[in-house]
A and B are shown apart, each in its own frame.
Chain A
Amino acid sequence: MNRLSSRHVLGIEHMTVRDVELVLDTADALKDILDRPIKKVPPLRGRSVVHLFFEPSTRTRLSFELAAKRLSADTISVSAASSSVVKGESLLDTALNIEAMRPDIIVLRHPLSRAPHFLARHVDTPVINAGDGTNEHPSQALLDLFTVRERFGRIAGLRIAIIGDIAHSRVAHSDIRAFSKMGAEVTVCGPGTMMPPYVEALGARSARCVEEALDGADVVMALRIQKERERRALVPSIREYAQLYGITRERLRLASPDVVLMHPGPVNQGVEIAPDVFEDPRSVILDQVTNGVAVRMALLSLLIISDTNREGGGT
């Protein structure tokens, strides 16, 4: 059975281990397309993917659009600024109208947590969450898993350290769930103002200081400060944040000798990552971006396959 257990990809929360493995294996098979001179294959020919981006995004949006185009889908992009959202049209109304035009997949980026879940309840079209508020960013977590598996050949048993704004980062929420679901041990660390209550409910242990979190880590994930999420500043200064939580060459020595450094982007160099570390060969930050296209190709094609099978009576 090569199909996902759900017809939407709303969050790692709802994915089974088998789902995750299926996405990673599919992405593996699709990745070599990206290295061909002609980077286009036909599985989604005649299919249309609508990208609804109600929040600014460069890499996620480009990555999804490229993924859809590589699979020969027709893609349409709608952003908040150019849509009826500015006229006060509700998400539900927008979605129902889009659905009435019979797209095959809706990819939604939204500033409010759980907006894709709301959408999925009201439309028949499969929905992919491309990031919702402070909740989840499942495709990012899947590409992170993919990148780690590519490097280590496994995920189970690895020690993952996630440093920064855990509370307001949807990437952190998805990554904690994803890595712990696949058997890795996740430790998080950040200023008290950036730690969610009951972080262990997501599957992570919290460390008291960054040194403790990095100790023996196989993967170090640095996060961006989410300045746009809170009205009040959560740290006294960027300088102090960098001093306390920035990933420096010295701090990286605490980690495993084979450590890889990751970041979901965009990186504030000199804040969460020291500039010399960013250029370090142990950094796989740009591999993450490449793998993002493959993982999103996998998600799109798996959702189409699952949906086609369902229409055909579920073979």
Chain B
Amino acid sequence: MTDLLLRNGRIIDPANGLDGPGDILVRNGRIEAVGHGIPAPDACLLLDVTGKWVTPGLVDLHVHLREPGEEYKETIESGTRAAVAGGFTAVAAMPNTLPPNDSAAVTRFILERARDAGNARVHPVAAITRGRAGKELTEFDDLLRAGAVAFSDDGSPVQDAGLMRIALEYAQGLDALIISHAEEPALSEGGCVNEGRISTLLGLKGIPWAAEDIAVFRDVALAELTGARLHIAHVSTRGAVEIIRRAKGRGVRVSAETAPHYFSLTEEAVLDFDTRAKMNPPLRTEEDRQAIIEGLADGTLDVIATDHAPHSSLEKDVEFPLAASGIIGLETAFPLSLALVRAGRLDPAHIIRLLSTTPAQILRIPGGTLSPGDRADIAVFDPERSFEVTPENLCSKSHNTPFLGTTLTGRAVLTLVGGRIVHNLLGVGG
């Protein structure tokens, strides 16, 4: 493994309170030193990264890698390649695979495939219930020992409040994290866009904000009741932000994420992009979008996660109500988040905290910092570099994104995982 000196980048490391110019020396896969004017050791690759952001590798708390079972959409290899292309060095993989990740055997399989791929690190999220069927708990302890970092029935909310309580109580005993896909199916059933002006104009059944707010309220209340650690996935409504804000004020152990599409787009996007803008929860209103940004700004929302959800044309090139929900996001998350910096809503360190430091802390995994001695999981971004989102430019196997065909600004130009160069647009080294 080559040693590396990243010279004169803008080092942004919220965990250590750093945001300024400096060098980082990487030796034997670890960060050896962070500082100014670090001398280059012999046989060390010297990279001038002036004008670029040097950050801890991004950590995506919410991705779907589709393997095992739907390898035609994405594989662990292609998904983690998309991750490193987007500056992510670690991703948490949701359990809605085929078979679902509800056993240590599947968890180990995912970890083994990820090791073989050698791109980003993969941290499996195991199912809360067997078969994600909402009936009986999976073996939490066994799954944790196999390498699972959290539990979620993502995509299929645990409908039975009593069972959710049991899951939280049991998780609390193990100090494990439960991730809630907060949706009340009795209200969302059959819906495919936000309920409101656009659902009426399109003649499509809507999903009301209340379907999310009610479920968030339920799970927050259960977290308060049980004292368990709860993380709310993909927050999309103004009401959910407010419920979480109040719960945090009371000291409830709840964290929450939103996805870049919820602060970049509104329900109007469905008019232009059709099924490419279909997701669950759906894109909401401008009022919701502003509340999401406000929630990110004031710390109510802790994390930006992509909910990277690859689908092929088989699932997307169909009648709107039949189309699968979800968009890919690993390769667009950084530029979309950077747009919040450009708009003056968040500062760069805050963006990195949301995309790296905090998700690593919530998952209790290494990474998210640039401390000497840490594994060298590092991303280098060129905030001025533009790229067109085209199938050719994407590493993901799927291209289901409303941003297809658009030009985004801000791109990962170098990604290191354990000191290894796994993504490199600098045209040197490798």
Contacts and interface: CB of A to CB of B under 8 A. Distances in A.
B51 interface: no
B319 A114 contact: yes
A197 B203 contact: no
B206 A115 contact: no
B320 A92 contact: no
A202 B321 contact: no
B317 A133 contact: no
A198 B196 contact: yes
A113 B202 contact: yes
B78 interface: no
B320 A113 contact: yes
A155 B98 CA distance: 57
A197 B201 contact: no
B200 A114 contact: no
Contacts of A122: 317
Interface string B170-208: 000000000000000000011000011101111111100
A112 B321 contact: yes
A113 B321 contact: yes
B202 A135 contact: yes
B225 interface: no
Contacts of A231: 189-190
Given A201-B197, A231-B189, A135 B204 contact: yes
Given A134-B205, A231-B189, A199 B319 contact: no
B268 to A, nearest CB: 12
Contacts of A224: none
Contacts of A198: 196-197, 200-201
A134 B318 contact: no
A115 B202 CA distance: 11
Given A197-B196, A198-B197, A201-B197, A91 B319 contact: yes
Interface in B295-322: 317-322
A114 B198 CA distance: 13
Q: Contact size class for A?
A: 20 to 34
Contacts of A196: 199-200
Contacts of A91: 318-319
A39 to B, nearest CB: 34
Interface in B202-249: 202-206
A70 interface: no
A197 B320 contact: no
A173 B200 CA distance: 9
Contacts of B320: 112-115, 118
A263 interface: no
Nearest to A122: B317
A175 interface: no
Contact of A118 (B196, B203, B204, B319): B319
Contacts of A199: 200
B195 A197 contact: yes
A135 B322 CA distance: 15
Nearest to B206: A197
A54 to B, nearest CB: 10
B287 to A, nearest CB: 14
Contact of A136 (B203, B321, B322): B203
Interface in A85-116: 90-92, 110, 112-115
Nearest to B189: A231
A258 B110 CA distance: 73
Contacts of B200: 196-199, 201-202
A198 B268 CA distance: 14
Interface string B334-355: 0000000000000000000000
17 contacts: A13-B201, A91-B318, A91-B319, A110-B319, A112-B319, A112-B321, A112-B322, A114-B204, A114-B320, A118-B318, A135-B203, A135-B204, A196-B199, A196-B200, A197-B196, A197-B197, A198-B196
Interface of A: 13, 90-92, 110, 112-115, 118, 122, 132-136, 170, 173, 196-199, 201-202, 231
Give 10 nearest A-B pairs by CB, closest first. Answer: A135-B203, A198-B197, A196-B200, A113-B203, A112-B319, A115-B319, A114-B320, A112-B321, A201-B197, A198-B200
